[in-house]
Structures are given as structure tokens and as C-alpha cells.
Structure 1
Amino acid sequence: MSAAERTEQAAVRTVLGDVPGEALGICDAHDHLFLQSRLLPGQELADVAAADAELRAFRRLGGSAVVQWTPYGLGRAADELAGLSRATGVHLVAATGLHQAQHYAPGTVEAVLEGLAELFVDELTRGIGGTGPRAGLIKVAGGFHGLDAHARSTMAAAAHAHHRTGAPIAVHLELGTGALDVLELLCGEHEVAPRSVILGHLNRSPDPVVHRQAARAGAFLAFDGPSRANHATDWRLPEVLAALVDAGYAGQLLLGGDTTTAAARSANGGPGMPYLLRRLRPRLELALEAEVVSHMLTTNPARALAAAWRAS
């Protein structure tokens, strides 16, 4: 097979290299092993041993892949990811991208905005920080029921990097809102194929009309961060997913844990990554067929994360 033919084949870009989507197995489609934000002082995810323990706990329940949505400048610990993946046997996908400006120290965002698209492309094709693994997706963020100038500029850079590399774009929706604005910008103005967009946190705004509109457009819908009662997560999620399955969108639904604080880790008494399989999966299987839930954890993330990667 020629190099050109290999390039055209879709694959998931993990920290250990590109793999076929079906190799992922059971996937936590949105989580964090490492994360440091000025909005979460004292709750940093920065302990390598704790990350290793969390992955092993997830692995013991059958989990075999985790997508870390931590973007540029928020303590990704990219140089640790390959070692953790080898040691635990869990596939890891790293992110490039940029979060909302409020998460960064003053001056951090301004220092990279002018060359943001090139930064994303470099991290997707050459490696994070020049020495780390290659990122496998671009993470950006919207605002509450809208898109500010920062969101528009970062999404424009993400779209540019997507067109040059093929990378999927994962979007933090603030409290689950703004999905249609994001799709208008990325897929309308910037011509990103909807199947290359993952909309995150939709469980935080359980609006069935918006969910169906986003699904009808062709995007992947991520329902992540279970166990957070203040975000209308667990108790509404079965009916929300059942409605989308009944409407014919079962193939576009993803599930994730979104662990963002040290207190939330399972070793510290929190739900952590294991909660997705230990509590959420059996709960969903009471409302949906087990096979449908299985597809949300395996087949769907394999499709959402796969790209026909280009050098740039």
C-alpha cells in the first residue's frame, strides 16, 4: 500500500500512533487526566500516579480508551501520556485547541492568538510542544447561549486546522447551550463537515428540540459529566438519549466522564472515570437496549474520532 493510500484511510490518532477506530474498544469520549485552570484553584489534576490509578480503575471495568479534552496551556502533561498509555494498556487521545479565555492566566491567550491555526496544525502533525505525542482532536469552546469574539477566533483557527489535517473538532458548550450557533459558524461559515464536529455537554441543557436539530445537522452529540446533579445529568439522561435513539440518531451519541477536579477522582472518594461504566452504563441499559449503549461506548466514538489524516 502506498503512502498516499495509507493517508486516505481513516484512523484515530492516539498518543502512541494512529490506530483503526475499532481498536479503541470501550471509550470514555470526554475526560481529563491532567487539567489546571485558574477557575479551579487547589483542584488541579497534576499527579501522574493518580492519573495512572484512575486509568487502571477504568480498565478493570472494561474501559480501553480515554479522550483527554485538555487543550493548550491548561496543564495537559502531554509528555506523560504515552507512558501512561503503555503502562495501563488504555488508548489515549490528546487534544490541541484553546478553551475560554477565562481559564488562562493573563497574557497567555494573547501570546498565541495570532498564530493559533499554525499551533493547532503543529500539535496535530508534529507533536505537542515539539517533543510530545501528536494530538488527535481540536478542543474549542463556546459561550453561554452564544459566541463571543474569542470563541469565533478560536473556532476559525480550529476550522483552518481541520481543513489542513482532517482532525475532528470537539466543542465545549457552556452549560450545554449554543450548539446551533456553533454549527452555523463551523459548518456554515467555515465549511467543516458536521460529522467532524463533536458537541460536548449537551446533557447540561436537556432541550430535546435543540438536540434533534444538532443531530439532524449531522454532528456527534456528547453527553458527558455524569454524577453532577446540579447539571441535570443522570436523572434526565435516559429519557434524553431514548428520545434521540427513537428519532433515529443512535449512531451519533457519545458518552464521557469529564473529570475536572482532584476531588472528583475515584481514589479521593469521587465518581471519577469508573463511574461511566460502574453506574451510568447499567442505568442506561434499563432504559435502552444494552446493544445501543454498547454502540455509544464503542462504535460511535470510533467513528467520531477517526479522520483521514493529512500532513498539513
Structure 2
Amino acid sequence: MGASGPATHPTGPAIRTVLGDIAPADLGICDAHDHLFLRSPQLPGQELDEAGPAAAELAAFRAAGGAAVVQWTPYGMGRGIAELPRLARESGIGIVTATGLHQAAHYAPEALERVHADLAGLFVAELTEGIGGSGGPRAGMIKVAGGFHSLDGHARHTMAAAAEAHHATGAVIGVHLELGTGALDVLDLLCGELGIPPGRVILGHLNRSPDLTVHRLAAEAGAYLAFDGPSRAHHATDWRLPDALAALADAGHGDRILLGGDTTAAGARSVNGGPGMPHLLRRLGPRLAHALGKDLVTRILTANPARAFAADWRWAATGS
């Protein structure tokens, strides 16, 4: 049974979808980082803001064998919250959505000013009560972002709030690494200073910086490593991906790997002629199976995200 079925109200660790909590074993084949809806002043004219194309892309992903999608679109970037539950029900795809905050450049200054003082409270409310208030779909992860080889004041403030929300709820923290850089700095901050267990951190976009030493050090620390961007034509690192993942697997870290599409523009969707979500299963999966073996790729698409996104959900006042 895939994540699209009715919430099972599991008593142990659970994955929080927009239709309710499910047991990790029910997740199925998962695109661990993608976007159904997204808008940003940094991406003018590339908005993902219509439900029809999102539904078509989900149908194409399901036809390719997919069962679940984790949308990393954070607060204030057009998450399509009103549409996600309906899309999940109609497509049969389990959808996990995010709270959190991206780099400051993706927001108007006044929007950041409104939430800056109590980010942790916002994140906790969206994880536990619902996005837009009680009764709305709940977020199932926290999304934050670093800069290019750096962590500026905004990133540090946002990550501190994410850490506070994690400690209150148990939610996993996914991190946008700018061009795949700064992974070890992020772990130093989140895990070293802020007390997050490394296994509750997902480092995104590592395919964009194919530094095998950094990959291995991050995996040895216990973090999850997301290689998420075959839809991104301007990141010409796909050809290195089998070698990067084989190196991790050979070092005993195959259980730390996640795969996603990270579709951020309408033209990248399969229904508009791009690779889109199905590319993960139709082309990338078989290619990786040739290099890594089919069994490991299956685990990367199923067992790994089931562990990474599951949480022992709890709630406690943040004190903010």
C-alpha cells in the first residue's frame, strides 16, 4: 500500500503527509525532493502555480511507478497548500510538504520582518497544528538554506529556529546547500552547536558539488545526503552521479542516500517536454541500477526516505 491511502495513525515513528500520518512502511517509491508549487522573485516567469499541470505531473510520476513526493517548498514561496490534499487524493501519490524558510533573497523584506521574531513558533505551528491554522494540512519537514560556502546571519537565525522546532516536534530538517557547498559548516552549526542528531538532517543538492571527500565525511557524521536535481539542465554533474553514489555505497553508506528531482520551473516538467518527476524512475533509476545494483537503488528510493522523513512526533512549547 502506498502513501496515498488513508492515514493509519501509527503509534510509532510516522511520516506526516498532507492527508495525515502514515507508517514509514507505507511510503513506497519516493521522490525525496521536488516541487509541485513554487514561486520566487529570483525565478521570474518560471512559477509553478497552477494545479492542473501539477496534477498531470503527479499522474506521470505515478505511471512511472512512483508513490510519494516530498515537496521542499517552504513558507512564503507559494506552496499550494489549498490544492495539495486534493492532489494527493486524486493522484494516489502521498505528498509531504514543508515548513521553513529559504534564503533571504527569495522574500520581500517586509515578509521576512513579519515572521523574523518567532520563526520557531511558526515552524512548530505548521508542523503540529496545520498550515494556515488548525485544520489545515500539516507540514512533515523543515526546509532551511545556506549560502555559497557560507552561513550568513539570516541562515544562522533560520537554522536556530529550525533546531528549536526540531527539538519541540522531532521533525527532520532539510537543507538547501547553495551549489552543493557548505555541508560540513551546516553540520557544525546544526549538530555541533544546536544539538540536532545528524540523522535528523538531510543535506540537499550534493550532486551539484561532486566532492567525494565531503560526501563521505557527511555520511560518516550520520546525515542523509540528497542528490536531487536531474531536472536541472544548468547543473552538468549528472554524469558523475553513479561514481559518487558508488563511492558512498562502497564505504558502507548506501543507507544515507536520497534521490529527488527538484523540478523548479514549468519547462522542466515532463508534461511540458522536460524530464520532470518521471525521469527519476524512467532514466536515472535504471542508470544507477547498472552501477550500484537494483536492490540498492530500490532501497534508496524506498527504505531510505521512509527512515529519513519518519519522526517520533511530539510537541512542546518553544518558549519563543
Could you tell me the TM-score, scaled by structure 2's length?
0.94
Q: Which of 301, 304, 307 is 1:300 aligned to?
A: 304
Aligned to 2:286: 282
- Note if 1:85 corresponds to 2:70: no
- Note if 1:253 corresponds to 2:257: yes
Alpha-carbon offset, residue 311 of structure 1: 2.6
Q: Which of 22, 25, 49 is 2:25 aligned to?
A: 22
- Equivalent pairs: percent with the same residue? 68
Alpha-carbon offset, residue 8 of structure 1: 6.7
Alpha-carbon offset, residue 229 of structure 1: 4.7
Partner of 1:170, secondary structure, is strand
Root-mean-square deviation (CA, aligned residues, Å) is: 1.1
Cα deviations across residues 18-54 of structure 1 (Å, max 9, x unaligned)? 1011101000000000000101111100010110000
Aligned to 2:79: 76
Distance 1:8 1:149 in 2: 39
Alpha-carbon offset, residue 272 of structure 1: 0.8
Partner of 1:147, secondary structure, is coil
Cα deviations across residues 133-170 of structure 1 (Å, max 9, x unaligned)? 00000000001011000000000000000000000000
Amino acid in structure 2 at the alignment position of 1:216:
E
Aligned to 1:160: 164
Partner of 2:69, secondary structure, is strand
After TM superposition, the runs of 4+ consecutive aligned structure 1 residues lying more than 4 A away are none
Aligned to 1:134: 138
Q: Are the counterparts in 1 of residues 226 and 258 from structure 2 also a CA contact under 8 Å?
A: yes
Amino acid in structure 1 at the alignment position of 2:95:
L
Aligned to 1:108: 111
Partner of 1:79, secondary structure, is coil
Alpha-carbon offset, residue 79 of structure 1: 1.5
Q: Are the counterparts in 2 of residues 206 and 232 from structure 1 also a CA contact under 8 Å?
A: no
Aligned to 1:3: none
Alpha-carbon offset, residue 233 of structure 1: 2.8
Which residues of structure 1 form unaligned runs of 5+? 1-5
Distance 1:251 1:291 in 2: 12
- Note if 1:119 corresponds to 2:130: no
- Distance 1:19-1:7 versus aligned 2 partners, 3 A rule: closer
- Note if 1:44 corresponds to 2:47: yes
Aligned to 2:194: 190
Q: Which of 58, 64, 74 is 1:61 aligned to?
A: 64
- Note if 1:242 corresponds to 2:246: yes
Distance 2:232 2:266 in 1: 15
Amino acid in structure 2 at the alignment position of 1:36:
R
Distance 2:298 2:84 in 1: 26
Distance 1:181 1:7 in 2: 35
Aligned to 2:6: none
- Distance 1:45-1:160 versus aligned 2 partners, 3 A rule: same
Q: Are the counterparts in 2 of residues 203 and 232 from structure 1 also a CA contact under 8 Å?
A: no
Which residues of structure 2 form unaligned runs of 5+? 1-8
Amino acid in structure 2 at the alignment position of 1:232:
A
Q: Are the counterparts in 2 of residues 7 and 310 from structure 1 also a CA contact under 8 Å?
A: no
- Distance 1:50-1:7 versus aligned 2 partners, 3 A rule: closer
Partner of 1:231, secondary structure, is coil
Q: Are the counterparts in 1 of residues 10 and 21 from structure 2 also a CA contact under 8 Å?
A: no
Alpha-carbon offset, residue 109 of structure 1: 1.1
Partner of 2:82, secondary structure, is helix
Distance 2:302 2:256 in 1: 12
Amino acid in structure 2 at the alignment position of 1:59:
R
- Distance 1:104-1:41 versus aligned 2 partners, 3 A rule: same
Aligned length: 307
- Note if 1:170 corresponds to 2:174: yes
Aligned to 2:237: 233
Q: Are the counterparts in 2 of residues 227 and 233 from structure 1 also a CA contact under 8 Å?
A: no
From the two aligned structures, give the one with the greater helix fraction: 1
Alpha-carbon offset, residue 108 of structure 1: 1.1
Aligned to 1:148: 152
Alpha-carbon offset, residue 297 of structure 1: 0.3
Cα deviations across residues 231-257 of structure 1 (Å, max 9, x unaligned)? 233100000000000000000100000
Q: Are the counterparts in 1 of residues 32 and 305 from structure 2 also a CA contact under 8 Å?
A: yes
Q: Which of 93, 97, 120 is 1:94 aligned to?
A: 97
Could you tell me the TM-score, scaled by structure 1's length?
0.96
